[in-house]
């Protein structure tokens, strides 16, 4: 009947943030500027959704600071589950 909106959990947002960050790093290495811009926009959107911010109403939100804090959270969560593989 009704489509139920399923709000993601913090760990889901953190996972998406990490995946997009990895894609952005690869785009930088390959000098794919358009892809870098797209991943930056996607990262901002993830942060906005993660915090439930309405950019039209909350004009005074410091997105750069919020992006940094969410990056710390996402990467902290990743370190607990991170396995490093040494390439030869």
**82: left (phi > 0), else alpha (psi -120 to 50), else beta?**
beta
Question: What's the pLDDT at 25?
Answer: 94
For residue 48, is it within any domain? yes
For residue 50, is it within any domain? yes
Query: What would the DSSP string read from start to end of 36-78?
Result: HHHHHHHHHHHHHHHHT--TTT-TT--HHHHHHHHHHHHHHHH
Total domain count, the chain: 1
Question: What's the pLDDT at 4?
Answer: 42
Q: Is the pTM of this model over 0.75?
A: no
Tell me the pLDDT tens digit for each residue of 1-33: 334 445 567 889 999 999 999 999 999 999 999
Q: Which domain holds residue 24?
A: 6-78
Tell me the pLDDT tens digit for each residue of 43-61: 999 999 998 988 788 777 7
Does the structure show a pLDDT above 80 at 69? yes
């Amino acid at each position: 009947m009704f489509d139920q909106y399923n709000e993601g959990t913090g760990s889901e947002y953190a996972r998406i943030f990490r995946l997009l960050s990895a894609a952005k790093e690869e785009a930088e290495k390959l000098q794919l500027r358009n892809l870098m811009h797209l991943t930056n926009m996607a990262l901002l959107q993830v942060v906005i959704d993660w915090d439930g911010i309405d950019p039209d109403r909350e004009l005074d939100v410091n997105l750069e600071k919020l992006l940094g804090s969410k990056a710390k959270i996402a990467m902290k969560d990743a370190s607990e589950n991170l396995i490093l593989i040494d390439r030869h």
